[in-house]
Amino acid sequence: MEGRHLQVCDGLREQLAKEKEVGSERDRELMVMKDERIAAEQKFQQVTGELTSVNEKLREVTARNDELEAMKINDSSSAGEVQCHLLELQGKYNEVKEELRAAQLSVESKSSKIAQLESTIEKINEQHDGRMKQLQESSAAEKSAVNSQNAELLSRLENQLQSVQQDLENAREELKVAHVKMEGMESLQTKEATEDNHAREVAMFKNKINTLESRLRDNEVELESKLEETGALRRELSVVKGENEDLSMELCNTKEELEEYCDQFESLERKLVHENFVLNEIRRKLHNRVIQLSGNIRVFVRVRPLIESEKIDLTKQTIELTEPYKDRGGLNPRQKKYRFGFDRVYNPTNDQEDVWEGAQPLVQSAIDGFDVCMFAYGQTGSGKTHTMIGDEANRGLIPRAVEMIFANKREIESKSDGDITVKVGVELLEIYNEEVRDLLSNESGSDGKLVKINVNGHEAVGNILATAESKEDIEGILNIAQKRRCVKATKSNSESSRSHLLFTIHFDVSSTTREGVDRNGVLHIIDLAGSERLNKSGSHGALLTEAQHINKSLSALSLVIEKLQAKSEHIPFRDSKLTYLLRNSLGGDSKTLAIVCCSSHQVHFQESMNSIRFAAKASKVELKEGNQISV
C-alpha cells in the first residue's frame, strides 16, 4: 500500500516539475518575443530617421538640380532634359579632365625646360667664372666688353626665365580651375549615386519592417494562445497540488499503519524464531528417541547383483534359499535352510537411493549433535566401496551425506540472521597393515604412504582436520582419497581395497548470543577392506600380509560386536587399530549403522554366509518379522 502511494506521489512530483519547466520555457519565449519587438521598433525608428535624412538630401539635390536647371537649362522641367543636362555635364567633365591632363603634361614639359635652363645657367656661370679668371690677366677694355656681353646675356636669360615662370604659373592656375571643375562634377555624380543607394535601402528597410510587423502579429497571436494554455495548466496544477496534499496525508497515515504492522511483524518473528528453536530441540530429542528405540546399532544387508564375469553359467546366477547341493553317495540330500532378520534388506534390484533412504535418519542425528558411525562390511568385491562412494551416476552414502550436511548448514545460518555459525571439518585416515596414515597431508606424496599417525586414547594424534566451505571442497578431498588409497588386484577382485578408509565429518554449531545452541556432531563413514579366503584370492608375499592384517582387524571388529551384544564387562577395543579408533562410535550414546554387503552368486556362498552371521551378531535379531533373507 505504501509503495503504491509513494509511486503516485513520485508521479505527481514529476508531472509538477514538467509543468513548471513548460511554464518557464513559455515565459522565456515571451521575453524573447518582447525583446524582438523592442528591437524591431528601434530598428524602425532608425530606418525612419535614415529615411528622413535621405529625403532631406534628396531635397537638397533637387534644389541643386533646380539651380543648375535655372542657370544652364531653359525650360528643363522634364526628367529627359535633366538627363540631357547631366550628359552635357558629363561631357564637360570629361573635357575638363582632358584639359587638366594636358595642363599637367604642359606643366611637366615646362618644368623640364626650366630644369634645362637652370642647367644652362649653371654652365654659363661656370664659363663666366672661367672667363673672369682669363680676363683678369687681360686688359680693362676686354674686361669691359666681356662684362657688357655677359650682362646682356644674363639679362636675356633672366627674361626667358621669367617668361617660363609666368607660363608655369598660368598652367598651375589652369590646373586648379580644372581640379575645381572636376571636383564639382564628381560631387554631383556622388550625390546621384547616394540618392540611388538610399532609395534601395529605404525599399529594403520597408520590406523588413513589413516582415517584422507580420512576425510580431503572429507572435502576439501565439503569445495569447500560450497565455491561455499556461492559465489552464496553472489551474490544473492547483488541482494536482490539492490531490497531492490529500495523497500526502493518506501516505502519512499509511506509514503509521505500516510502522505498526512492522512492529507487530518483528514481535511475531521473534516469537516464531523462539518457537522454532524450541520445536527444533523437541524434534532433536524425539528423533534421537526414535533412533534409540530402533536400536543404536542398526544392521542393513545389501545383496549386489551379478557382474558380467559371473553371468557365464546361467544356472548359477542367483543364490538359492537353501544351501548348495552336495553328493551324499546315494543318500537323500539334506539341504539346510537359513533364515535371518535385519532392520532392512536390499536385494539386487534396489539402487543407491533406497540405501540412502534408510541411512538418512542417522546423518540427521549427526547434524543434531550426536556421534554417528556408518561402515560397510563384507567380502572383497561385494560392493562396499560402491555403496559408500559410488560414481557420478550412482552416488553413494558419502556424497549424499555431504550434500545434506551443507544444505542444513545453509538453512541454519540463513534462519539465524548471522547469530549462529556452522563449521564443517573433515578428517581422512587410512589403516594399512595396522598403521594409521593421514591421506590429507601434503607431505604424504602422491600415494600418501609417508605420514604415519600415532593412536593415543582411541584418537588419532597429529592428523589434519581440514575446513570445508562447500561440498566441492569435500569432493576434492574424496578425489585425493581415491588416488592415495591402497588398491591392488587379486584373483577375487581386480580393484581390491587393501586398507580401511575412515572418513570423518565434524559438524560444529555455535552462537555467541544464544544459549543452548552449541553442539558438536561427528559422522564417521568407513569403507572397510574386504575379507577374503587365502585359497581363493591366491595372495602371497605383500598381498598375503595385507590379507592377514585385514582379516585380523575384521575378526577383532566381529569380536567387539559380539562382546557388546553380550554386554560383557571387557570389550577388546585394543585388539586392533580399527576397533580402537571406533571405540566412541561403537559404545555409549552413539548411533551405528552396519551395512553388510554380500554377493548373490553361489560360488561366494560361504563368504556371504560369514557376512550374514556377522550381521546377525550385530543385530542380535533372528526370525524378525518383515524383511528376511535366507542363504
pLDDT value of residue 309: 57
Residue 209's pLDDT band, with cuts at 50, 70 and 90, is: confident
Neighbours of 385 (CB within 10 A): 23
User: Once rounded to an integer, what is the mean pLDDT over residues 273-298?
Assistant: 74
User: Once rounded to an integer, what is the mean pLDDT over residues 374-382?
Assistant: 84
Report the distance separating Cα 458 and Cα 439, nearest Å: 19
At 383-433, the pLDDT tens digits run 888 888 888 888 999 899 999 999 999 988 887 777 888 999 998 888 888
Report the distance separating Cα 598 and Cα 601, nearest Å: 9
3-state secondary structure 174-229: HHHHHHHHHHHHHHHHHHHHHHHHHHHHHHHHHHHHHHHHHHHHHHHHHHHHHHHH
Query: Within 13 Å and on the Cβ side, how many CA atoms surround 476?
Result: 9
At 312-365, the pLDDT tens digits run 444 333 333 345 555 555 555 555 666 777 788 888 888 899 999 989 999 999
What residues contact 129, with CB distance under 8 A and at least 6 apart?
Answer: none
The answer to whether 504 is annotated as binding is no
CA-atom Rg of the chain in angstroms: 66
Contact 604, 320 (CB under 8 A): no
The answer to whether 384 is annotated as binding is yes
The answer to whether 382 is annotated as binding is yes
| Of 3 and 516, the one with more pLDDT | 516
The answer to whether 521 is annotated as binding is no
Among the listed residues 585, 564, 526, 579, the one whose alpha carbon sits nearest the alpha carbon of residue 372:
585
Write the burial class of residue 335 (CB in 10 Å: 0-12 exposed, 13-18 middle, 19+ buried).
Answer: exposed
Query: Between the ranges 1-5, 160-164, 192-196, where is the mean pLDDT highest?
Result: 192-196
Percent of the chain beyond pLDDT 70? 54
Residue 507's pLDDT band, with cuts at 50, 70 and 90, is: very high
| Of 1 and 419, the one with more pLDDT | 419
Query: Between the ranges 130-139, 300-309, 487-496, where is the mean pLDDT highest?
Result: 300-309
At 292-318, the pLDDT tens digits run 666 667 788 888 776 655 554 443 333
By residue count, the chain amounts to 631
Angle between helical axes of 352-367 and 397-415 (0-180°, round to 10): 40
- The values of phi and psi at residue 600, to 5°, are -90, 0
pLDDT value of residue 602: 74
Distance (Å) of CA 367 to CA 217, 415, 506, 517:
90, 16, 9, 12
User: Once rounded to an integer, what is the mean pLDDT over residues 228-253?
Assistant: 83
At 561-593, the pLDDT tens digits run 888 777 778 888 888 888 888 887 776 667 888
Residue 527, SS3? strand
Residue 624's pLDDT band, with cuts at 50, 70 and 90, is: very low
Given a cut of 90, whether residue 275 has pLDDT beyond it is: no
Given a cut of 50, whether residue 77 has pLDDT beyond it is: no
Write the burial class of residue 364 (CB in 10 Å: 0-12 exposed, 13-18 middle, 19+ buried).
Answer: buried
The answer to whether 383 is annotated as binding is yes
Q: Which residue spans of the chain are classified as CATH 3.40.850.10? A: 301-310+341-629
The answer to whether 380 is annotated as binding is yes
Percent of the chain beyond pLDDT 90? 5
Yes or no: domain 301-310+341-629 corresponds to CATH 3.40.50.150: no
Contact 463, 456 (CB under 8 A): no
Given a cut of 60, whether residue 495 has pLDDT beyond it is: no
What residues contact 570, with CB distance under 8 A and at least 6 apart?
Answer: 563
User: Once rounded to an integer, what is the mean pLDDT over residues 201-212?
Assistant: 80
pLDDT value of residue 40: 52
The answer to whether 381 is annotated as binding is yes
Largest CA distance in the chain: 213
| Strand 340-341, strand 496-497: pairing | unpaired
The answer to whether 628 is annotated as binding is no
pLDDT value of residue 500: 86
The answer to which of 49-53, 347-351, 517-521 has the lowest mean pLDDT is 49-53
What residues contact 195, with CB distance under 8 A and at least 6 apart?
Answer: 54, 57, 58, 61
